[in-house]
Structure 1
Amino acid sequence: MPSDSTPEWPVMSIAEAHARLTAPGQRFEMEEKVIRGVAQRVWKNAPPTLRDIFLNGRTFGAREFLVYEDDRATYEAFARATIALARQLQADGVRKGDRVAVIMRNLPEWPVAFFAGILAGAIVTPLNGWWTGPELQYGLADSGTKVALVDDERLERIAPHLDELPDLEKIYVARLPAGADPGPRAARLEQAIGPVNSWMDLPDAPLPDVAIDPEDDATILYTSGTTGRPKGALGTHRNMTTNVMTSGIAAVRNFLRAGQPLPESDPHKLPQRSSLLVVPLFHATGLSATLGPTMNAGGKIVLMRRWEAEQAMQIIERERIDATGGVPTIAWQLIEHPARAKYDLSSLVSVSYGGAPSAPELVRRIVEVFPGSAPGNGWGMTETTATFTSHTGKDYEARPDSAGPAAPVGEMQIRDPGDGITLLPVGQVGELWVKGPQVVKLYWNKPEATAETFRDGWLRTGDLARLDEEGFMFIVDRAKDMLIRGGENIYCVEVENVLFDHPDVMDAALVGVPHKTLGEEPAAVVHLKPGGTAGEAELRQWVRERLAAFKVPVEVRFWPEPLPRNANGKILKTELKTVFEARE
């Protein structure tokens, strides 16, 4: 990353850096294409399809790609397993456009299942591994899945619902215990590809002969469904591959801003980067923002069965991990863990996160605790196939309350939340609308929701935000989560950031509780850091000294563990509100 020694930072604006990086002949050159009747800026040199990302990854051959406990797979071993499974899916009758679901925890078999479906021409449908049996039944039925690739835990959840899934013809089960019966319509995945450490022994077979185009349907990713039924966001190959260049330009932009020469761009000539992936692969951040770009650049991905801070530090030390993150809580737990000093974490150069607001203090703490690393965050949605804005390094340190600027292929507008049309001036809070090649096509089987959210190439995000003069975006709140107390708007993130700044607070959320005359009042749920002793009166006074009186939580309740979040990293405020239901 750029050093902090350049006194005149930044030496150029974001617009100037983007103009230089996207000029004709440059790696990040753009071109205009008409996609579904709408003119779009796209990356000229991005991999056209996910199959191209697969092929680019295979060029790294003997490099290690996937690590999980005692399992290790090189890029070539991964490729052979993926092709073997893709050909098996074809033999099972999977044709272009059929839906193939992947439902398992983060295992090495997950990327194999995903890319096997892609190579067979399917629309791959990763379902939330945290869902219950009825929720998984909904996702499988709604998508019309033909073949599902699951682990043993997910098989147990869907097995009682097979009678409700007539479209589901075949199930492949990973890691089923010896002697266990996979049941009807099911077979062991190992019968098709063998165990991870034997993948290199599989034959070098040709890829399936399937024509795949950048605008072909590639994925259905279900929204987190904090309210109502989850909606399936139908994404194309271009939606998925856009992230390769989006993540790349955010990194090199920092060098130009610091007046430093651009780094080597050929990953074959660079040391391998290693990432500890602690967000689910079924989520856009894990799949689109991490798996795809890492494969394309020949990086290594280390997987964990479940997040545990000290185990993560052991892995960082052992595997010399360069990058990790996910949601702010993960960064906080690494920073605050009492055993941190026992481990060598000096390999970390990036601690990044998204999916949830983060306190400005977190940026300062990352720089302080991990001096060789750069903090990073960004903004995106399932509907934007993960990353839309990126914010790293000194830009993030300078604007710690921003989510960063959009990649050059993306456009952002702030519109009047009432009419959804009127453009608001710089600095004014309104609803964020975005446009770009990462915005998905539609909601699967939901024409009314599609018409409400997708308009003439633009996506109505439901986020309240503002833009500054240089195009840095600041999320203010979710429109539907904003509290209105007696006519006064309270932006939750503002109060949450003040609570985060208290030295005893690790996690905080503001929710609305009903009030007979005011409509609703703000109440806070807080998780304290280890050893934290702050009480309700102290925290309410802390906010009172920093914000207007109407923003002070009327109550503060304490949560014994990190606050519950969905797969996107967003706090489940509906669940938190239950602690106030007995309130008079």
Structure 2
Amino acid sequence: MNDIAARLHTATEQLCQPGAPFEIETRNSGSSELRFYKNAPNTLRELLDTGRNFEEQEFLIYQDERLTFNTFFARADAFSHYLVTELSIAKGERIAIAMRNYPEWMIAYYAIVSIGAVVVPLNSWGSADELCYGLSDSMAKLVICDQPRYDAILSGADQLSCQTILVRAKDDQAGLCFEDIVRANLGAAMPEIRCDSDDIAQIMYTSGTTGRPKGAVSTHRNICQAIFSFEFHGMCSAMANPESIGKMFSAGFAPCTLLSVPLFHVSGCYAAFLLNLRAGRKTVMMYKWSAEEALALIAKERVTIFSAVPSMVVDLLRHPNFKTTDTSSLFSLGGGGTACPPSFSSAIAENLSDAYVGTGYGMTETNAICASCTGDAFLYKPNSAGTLSPLVEWQTRSPEGDVLAQGDVGEIWLKSACNISAYWNKPDATAESFIDGWMATGDIGYIDDENFVFLVDRAKDLIIRGGENIYPAEIESCLSQHSGVADSAIIAIPNEHLGETPGAVIRVRQGADLSETDIKDYLNTKLAAFKQPSHIWFVDEELPRNPAGKVLKRELLKRFMN
């Protein structure tokens, strides 16, 4: 076993042994046994109330607004008091949040889950139809939204019966105003509502690329175990990377996270918001992504942690202002939401070689938990998603459903206390994806003999050309290493003779001059002939992506095949 793998194994054993902070115990759960962190809190209120201990420390920076932990909790207490005493919100009732990244998003989330209601974070990038579908499907009693989402809901809703509370409303907007509610109830205590670990806490809609999104149902226990898993991986990695951690502390910068991804996605909600609220770390929140603005914030607020979609990390590091910006505080870089291309590693090596780099693998249905890879582990196996969480059991299966041997490539199935319990109001989809405690991920991959997870591609993205399997991720990885390619996506092109062939949509890097011949000559040296794209299209604009950072290939197919 390699030294870093051995260090991770030893750290895991020490952290998870009886009496240790992350002690593991096995419990019966339904028809199967699951592993749990014994010391994890049972409810989100219990989990997050530790943040109250940080009092007058700064918690949240948003543009010109600065909130201490005391201010945050006082506003959340006021809002929760109103929900219970004035609107009579009862335990188990659904409350939706539909807005871009604002402080009120965080305040509303904490208030909702703390009174036993069910929070429904909606995709603020969605259309009016998609927003209304989420409200209708979840049977939300109330939606808390900003002005653009309010306007969209009004234009698309015919029979929605949920009440609306508006955030940052226009001056002439009638109706309930979030800021007025909080101001009128400041000083009130949060109501005491008894919650159980098996109560539903959240319905988070999957950002699917086909069909209607599905509501992923998480209990308090699911999310508490997930947050504890994040903390375990952080502690385990620190123990396995003592030199890097020592360097971080010697630099003297207080931990500070730049939040640039949407809060309605697990990466923004869990890895930034909930972890920082619980741990007393400062969060600098962006309304929307801008590499130029992000660099300015890093310098001004002395940001130490930046984790985002890999393409955003690359954009930041390769921005013309990077070399002239004071990024001396920036220590930790992470890429998540989608596979990290080689350009992610090369951009870091070229511009911030001493960074503590990490990635991982998880999904909405696993509450972001499966594998994590940070520090020396990332350098050791940069193509891996990391080592498996102690809570997670792993299988790869053949298309026929047979369990494959370790190291064999197949569809990934996971069993974990972090996995969601069901899809909301979709028994058929639940029965198809959840079997005997195991969940089908739809991802193709394998796990090696050192417990490192490797992803190959999405099962649905597989291209079969004349009987030969082609994984688009492999071609996209090759393209990402071309100096003139800023981004790319491989899509399946129907072919009467071969069934389908790969087609490449390429965003050209600014200032580069690329031709179809350039790309074909480049790929000829790296890929087998049958994997070569049969069609190549060049674009100047960003490729369409969902909130998790995954390219919307159906949109590209419609555009280039019509």
Mark the CA change 1:101 to 1:476 in structure 2 (over 3 Å): closer, same or farther.
same
Offset of residue 408 of structure 1: 0.7
Is the 2:5–2:450 Cα contact (8 Å) retained in structure 1?
no
Residues 157-192 of structure 1: CA deviation (Å, up to 9, x unaligned): 0013444113x1x211000121233xxxx4111111
Provide the TM-score with structure 2 as the length reference: 0.95
Offset of residue 10 of structure 1: 2.5
Residue type at the aligned position of 2:88: G
Is the 1:380–1:388 Cα contact (8 Å) retained in structure 2?
yes
Mark the CA change 1:258 to 1:290 in structure 2 (over 3 Å): closer, same or farther.
closer
1:159 to 117, 130, 154: 154
Offset of residue 534 of structure 1: 2.6
Q: Once structures 1 and 2 are overlaid, which stretch shifts more, 375-384 or 100-109?
A: 375-384
SS of structure 2 residue aligned to 1:387: coil
Mark the CA change 1:37 to 1:397 in structure 2 (over 3 Å): closer, same or farther.
same
Residues 74-102 of structure 1: CA deviation (Å, up to 9, x unaligned): 11111011011111111202100000001
Offset of residue 309 of structure 1: 0.6
Within 2, Cα distance between the matches of 1:50 and 1:106?
Answer: 21
1:350 to 321, 326, 332: 332
Q: Once structures 1 and 2 are overlaid, which stretch shifts more, 243-252 or 315-324?
A: 243-252
Residues 397-441 of structure 1: CA deviation (Å, up to 9, x unaligned): 11111111221111111111x222x22122211000011111000
Mark the CA change 1:272 to 1:56 in structure 2 (over 3 Å): closer, same or farther.
farther
Aligned to 1:487: 467
Is the 1:149–1:172 Cα contact (8 Å) retained in structure 2?
yes
SS of structure 2 residue aligned to 1:136: helix
Within 1, Cα distance between the matches of 2:510 and 2:375?
Answer: 28
Is the 1:317–1:344 Cα contact (8 Å) retained in structure 2?
yes
Q: Once structures 1 and 2 are overlaid, which stretch shifts more, 40-49 or 247-256?
A: 247-256
Is the 1:326–1:354 Cα contact (8 Å) retained in structure 2?
yes
Residue type at the aligned position of 1:409: L
Mark the CA change 1:59 to 1:202 in structure 2 (over 3 Å): closer, same or farther.
farther
Offset of residue 17 of structure 1: 2.8
Is the 2:447–2:453 Cα contact (8 Å) retained in structure 1?
yes
Aligned to 1:82: 76
Is the 1:367–1:375 Cα contact (8 Å) retained in structure 2?
no
Is the 2:8–2:237 Cα contact (8 Å) retained in structure 1?
no
Within 2, Cα distance between the matches of 1:13 and 1:486?
Answer: 45
Aligned to 1:4: none
Residue type at the aligned position of 1:406: L
Is the 2:318–2:347 Cα contact (8 Å) retained in structure 1?
no
Q: Once structures 1 and 2 are overlaid, which stretch shifts more, 377-386 or 363-372?
A: 363-372
SS of structure 2 residue aligned to 1:412: strand
Is the 1:243–1:293 Cα contact (8 Å) retained in structure 2?
no
Within 2, Cα distance between the matches of 1:581 and 1:518?
Answer: 17
Within 1, Cα distance between the matches of 2:274 and 2:124?
Answer: 20
Offset of residue 272 of structure 1: 4.0
Offset of residue 257 of structure 1: 3.4
Aligned to 2:230: 247
SS of structure 2 residue aligned to 1:561: coil
Residues 532-573 of structure 1: CA deviation (Å, up to 9, x unaligned): 223221112211111100001112212212321101111101
Residues 26-82 of structure 1: CA deviation (Å, up to 9, x unaligned): 222111222334311111222322102331111111111111111111111110110
SS of structure 1 residue aligned to 2:45: helix
Mark the CA change 1:397 to 1:47 in structure 2 (over 3 Å): closer, same or farther.
same
Aligned to 1:190: 179
Is the 1:346–1:370 Cα contact (8 Å) retained in structure 2?
no
Aligned to 1:477: 457
Residues 112-140 of structure 1: CA deviation (Å, up to 9, x unaligned): 11111112211100000011111111100
Q: Once structures 1 and 2 are overlaid, which stretch shifts more, 128-137 or 356-365?
A: 356-365
Residue type at the aligned position of 1:159: L
Within 1, Cα distance between the matches of 2:320 and 2:42?
Answer: 46
Within 1, Cα distance between the matches of 2:498 and 2:290?
Answer: 42
SS of structure 2 residue aligned to 1:242: helix
Aligned to 1:513: 493
2:378 to 382, 396, 416: 396
Q: Once structures 1 and 2 are overlaid, which stretch shifts more, 275-284 or 357-366?
A: 357-366
2:418 to 410, 428, 438: 438
Mark the CA change 1:445 to 1:424 in structure 2 (over 3 Å): closer, same or farther.
same
1:504 to 484, 491, 500: 484
Is the 2:253–2:304 Cα contact (8 Å) retained in structure 1?
no
Within 2, Cα distance between the matches of 1:256 and 1:102?
Answer: 38
Is the 2:244–2:356 Cα contact (8 Å) retained in structure 1?
no
Is the 1:252–1:262 Cα contact (8 Å) retained in structure 2?
no
Mark the CA change 1:485 to 1:541 in structure 2 (over 3 Å): closer, same or farther.
same
Within 2, Cα distance between the matches of 1:367 and 1:33?
Answer: 44
Residue type at the aligned position of 1:334: L
2:213 to 209, 230, 238: 230
Residue type at the aligned position of 1:129: S
Residue type at the aligned position of 1:111: M
Residue type at the aligned position of 2:78: A
Is the 1:11–1:258 Cα contact (8 Å) retained in structure 2?
no
Within 1, Cα distance between the matches of 2:31 and 2:349?
Answer: 45
Within 2, Cα distance between the matches of 1:395 and 1:213?
Answer: 37
Aligned to 2:47: 53
Within 2, Cα distance between the matches of 1:465 and 1:301?
Answer: 34
Within 1, Cα distance between the matches of 2:242 and 2:178?
Answer: 51
Say whether 1:135 aligns with 2:116. Answer: no
Within 2, Cα distance between the matches of 1:206 and 1:34?
Answer: 37
Say whether 1:458 aligns with 2:442. Answer: no
1:410 to 389, 392, 399: 392
SS of structure 2 residue aligned to 1:329: helix
Provide the TM-score with structure 1 as the length reference: 0.92
Residue type at the aligned position of 2:178: L
Within 2, Cα distance between the matches of 1:14 and 1:489?
Answer: 35
Aligned to 2:119: 124
SS of structure 1 residue aligned to 2:464: strand
Within 2, Cα distance between the matches of 1:260 and 1:301?
Answer: 25
Within 2, Cα distance between the matches of 1:369 and 1:382?
Answer: 32
Q: Once structures 1 and 2 are overlaid, which stretch shifts more, 541-550 or 529-538?
A: 529-538
Is the 2:434–2:440 Cα contact (8 Å) retained in structure 1?
yes
2:342 to 355, 360, 365: 360
Offset of residue 365 of structure 1: 2.5
Say whether 1:44 aligns with 2:38. Answer: yes
Residues 412-471 of structure 1: CA deviation (Å, up to 9, x unaligned): 11111x222x22122211000011111000000000000000112111001010111112
1:19 to 5, 13, 16: 13
Unaligned residue ranges in structure 1 (runs of 5+): 1-7, 195-200
SS of structure 2 residue aligned to 1:165: coil
Is the 1:323–1:349 Cα contact (8 Å) retained in structure 2?
yes
Unaligned residue ranges in structure 2 (runs of 5+): none
1:541 to 488, 496, 521: 521
Is the 1:11–1:259 Cα contact (8 Å) retained in structure 2?
no
Say whether 1:115 aligns with 2:122. Answer: no
Offset of residue 259 of structure 1: 6.6
Aligned to 2:400: 419
Residue type at the aligned position of 2:220: H
Mark the CA change 1:260 to 1:35 in structure 2 (over 3 Å): closer, same or farther.
farther
Say whether 1:550 aligns with 2:530. Answer: yes
Within 2, Cα distance between the matches of 1:337 and 1:399?
Answer: 27
Within 2, Cα distance between the matches of 1:376 and 1:30?
Answer: 24
1:70 to 64, 67, 78: 64
Aligned to 1:198: none
Within 2, Cα distance between the matches of 1:515 and 1:424?
Answer: 32
Is the 2:360–2:385 Cα contact (8 Å) retained in structure 1?
yes
